[in-house]
Amino acid sequence: MEFATLSNGVRMPKVGFGVYRVPAEECQPVVQKALEVGYRHLDTAQCYFNEEQVGAAIQASPVDRSDIFLTTKVWIGCYGEGQTYASVERSLRRLKTDYLDLVLLHQAFADYYGAWRDLVRLYEEGKVRAIGTSNFLPVRLADLAAFGGMAPQVNQVETNPLCQQRVAHDYMAAVGVQHQAWAPLGAGAAGVLDSPVICGIAERLGKTTAQVALRWLLQRDIVVLAKSTHEERMRQNLDVFDFELAAEDVAAIEALDTGHGTFIDPSDPATIDFFRPLVEERCGL
Catalytic residue numbers, as ranges: 48
Whether 119 and 84 have beta carbons less than 8 Å apart is answered as yes
Amino acid identity for residue 128 in this structure: V
Region near ligand A2P per CB under 6 A, out of 136-144, 146-154, 177-185, 270-278: 177-185
Q: Is 235 in the site for ligand A2P (CB under 6 A)?
A: no
Residue 105 or 210 having the CB closest to ligand A2P: 210
Q: Which of 77, 82, 176, 188 binds ligand A2P (CB under 6 A)?
A: 188
Q: Can you state the percent helix, strand and coil of the chain, rounding each to 5?
A: 45, 15, 40
Q: Which is nearer to ligand A2P, 144 or 214 (CB)?
A: 214
- Work out which of 151, 187, 205, 250 binds ligand A2P, going by CB under 6 A: 187
- By CB under 6 A, name the one of 84, 107, 155, 236 that touches ligand A2P: 236
| 34 φ/ψ angles, rounded to the nearest 5 degrees | -60, -45
CA gap 226, 16 in Å, rounded: 6
Residue 58 in contact with ligand A2P, rule: CB under 6 A: no
Q: Which is nearer to ligand A2P, 138 or 161 (CB)?
A: 161
Least Å distance, CB 230 to ligand A2P, is: 4
**Considering the rule CB under 6 A, would residue 208 count as an interface residue with ligand A2P?**
yes
**Binding status of residue 185 toward ligand A2P by CB under 6 A:** yes
Question: How many of the chain's residues bind ligand A2P (CB under 6 A)?
Answer: 17
- Of the candidates 194, 197, 169, the one whose C-alpha atom is nearest the C-alpha of residue 181 is 169
Strands annotated E in 58-165: 69-74, 102-105, 131-134, 154-158
Residue 184 interacting with ligand A2P (CB under 6 A): yes
- Exposed, middle or buried, 242 (CB in 10 Å: 0-12/13-18/19+)? exposed
